Amino acid sequence: MKVLVDLSVVPLGVGLSLSKYVAACERVLKEAGLKTALHANGTNIEGDWDEVFAAVRRCHEVLHDMGVPRVSATLRVGTRTDRVQSLEDKVRSVEEKMK
Amino acid sequence: MKVLVDLSVVPLGVGLSLSKYVAACERVLKEAGLKTALHANGTNIEGDWDEVFAAVRRCHEVLHDMGVPRVSATLRVGTRTDRVQSLEDKVRSVEEKMK
Amino acid sequence: MKVLVDLSVVPLGVGLSLSKYVAACERVLKEAGLKTALHANGTNIEGDWDEVFAAVRRCHEVLHDMGVPRVSATLRVGTRTDRVQSLEDKVRSVEEKMK
Amino acid sequence: MKVLVDLSVVPLGVGLSLSKYVAACERVLKEAGLKTALHANGTNIEGDWDEVFAAVRRCHEVLHDMGVPRVSATLRVGTRTDRVQSLEDKVRSVEEKMK
């Protein structure tokens, strides 16, 4: 089952500079071979359900290994059976309607 | 790894009455033996990471099997290494501070 | 316009014990006269759009006044024109389908 | 008070093609003079709290005017008092850590 996920990871207990941790999570996603698109409040991910969620779990583990005692993440998760849709399709579809 | 998840499942393409689908997802979570607490905008889930996310995946699958062509879910996901905290602990902790 | 909101407030830069801040936000919502229902990962709120969002803003302000340098919140926001639905209606509707 | 918001709007009861409605919401945000950045699962918005949330309310209203009976939105909302941070700052900060 294919899934599109928008993942936002918030490390707690390590102060206010979070980009180091977000970057570590990005590396995990890349190493997992997943297609991703970083934005200001998260990362869009496209891939097979099990591979995506294994990588999300790995993000939590890597952050804890870096000394983060608490990780609070939010995810938007989309699956559909009517047709295949990529991250680019979703953006393009909205942009076309805005012309 | 233990995880607390707040799951909200939104079926698309099946009209406005969504409770039947939310109930089906609740049953999936119960059958998985997970501790859950239903609220007006989702369900809190407590359990082992892999068991929780296998059940979330099963929710999507069951909804698609019921004829839902598109499922949009949002999750709040919390892990921590400093201490063990249950769903009840979190509510109780806030309520005590409100006295 | 009536709205149902599920609000989760995460204070950053103040360590790992967050319940004091969540309780302060709960008090703001109560003082605003809004109907609320606390759960393990947030608070459901029912009310008029402008009153609800004025209170959400006030939560951020009160937390900053308490010394929280950064507040990260997530909200699920629902409006509908087909019928009026309360927080209790939503829970009851799912529970009935589970019998 | 300045705020960064990640808004995802899901119209219910109008089938599976949602981009028309997302585009209408984008136009509302543009007309409000807000800085935005569209991504595959939502739109990042930067601006003054009251202006941003007035525009979010207007999105719901415009969708209902277009015949959408139910709108389910999710928002990530960030405020901070330690420093001013733009949408571009957040992306750049992560990208620098990934080099």
Report residue D99's pLDDT band, with 50, 70 and 90 as the boundaries.
confident
- Average pLDDT on D12-31 reads 96
- What end-to-end distance do the CA atoms of chain B give, in Å? 33
Both tokens of A29, joined, read 């996603």
CB contact under 8 A, D13 and B13: no
| ipTM given for this complex | 0.96
Compute the distance between CA of residue D38 and CA of residue D44 in angstroms, rounded to an integer: 6
Compute the distance between CA of residue A58 and CA of residue A7 in angstroms, rounded to an integer: 13
* Residue in A closest to B53 by C-alpha: A53
Q: Which residues from chain B sit within 8 angstroms of residue C4, using beta carbons?
A: 40-41
pLDDT of res. A73: 98
Secondary structure, 3-state, C19-71: HHHHHHHHHHHHHCCCEEEEECCEEEEEEEHHHHHHHHHHHHHHHHHCCCCEE
Question: For the segment D49-60, what is each residue's pLDDT rounded down to a tens digit?
Answer: 999 999 999 999
Which of B80, B85, B89 to probe by mutation at the A interface, max A CB count within 10 Å? B80
Question: For the segment C53-96, what is each residue's pLDDT rounded down to a tens digit?
Answer: 999 999 999 999 999 999 999 999 999 999 999 999 999 999 99
The CATH class of B2-98 is: alpha beta
Q: Which residues from chain C sit within 8 angstroms of residue B88, using beta carbons?
A: 40
CB contact under 8 A, D61 and C13: no
- Average pLDDT on B31-40 reads 98
Q: For residue D70, is pLDDT > 90?
A: yes
**Candidates C13, C60, C75; nearest CB to D75:** C75
Which subunits count as partners of chain C given 3+ CB pairs below 8 Å?
A, B, D
Q: Which H or E run contains D61?
A: helix D49-65
Which subunits count as partners of chain D given 3+ CB pairs below 8 Å?
A, B, C
pLDDT of res. A99: 84
Report residue B99's pLDDT band, with 50, 70 and 90 as the boundaries.
confident
Q: For residue A18, is pLDDT > 90?
A: yes
Which of B72, B74, B75, B76 to probe by mutation at the D interface, max D CB count within 10 Å? B72
What's the gap in Å between the CA of C16 and the closest CA on chain A? 6
pLDDT of res. C2: 97
pTM (two decimals)? 0.97
Q: Which residues from chain D sit within 8 angstroms of residue A42, using beta carbons?
A: 6, 41, 76
Chain A residues contacting C via beta carbons under 8 Å: 10, 12-13, 15-16, 18, 69-70, 72, 74
Neighbours of D33 (CB within 10 A): 9
**Candidates C19, C20, C90; nearest CB to B40:** C90
CB contact under 8 A, D37 and A37: no
- Contact between D5 and D75 under an 8 Å Cβ cutoff? The reply is yes
CA angle A11, A12, A15 (to 5 degrees): 95
Q: What single letter denotes the amino acid at residue B24?
A: A
Compute the distance between CA of residue B74 and CA of residue D6 in angstroms, rounded to an integer: 13
* Residue in D closest to A28 by C-alpha: D98
- Average pLDDT on A3-25 reads 97
**List of residues 6+ apart from B42 with CB closer than 8 A:** B6, B7, B8, B9, B74, C6, C41, C76
Q: Which H or E run contains A7?
A: strand A2-12
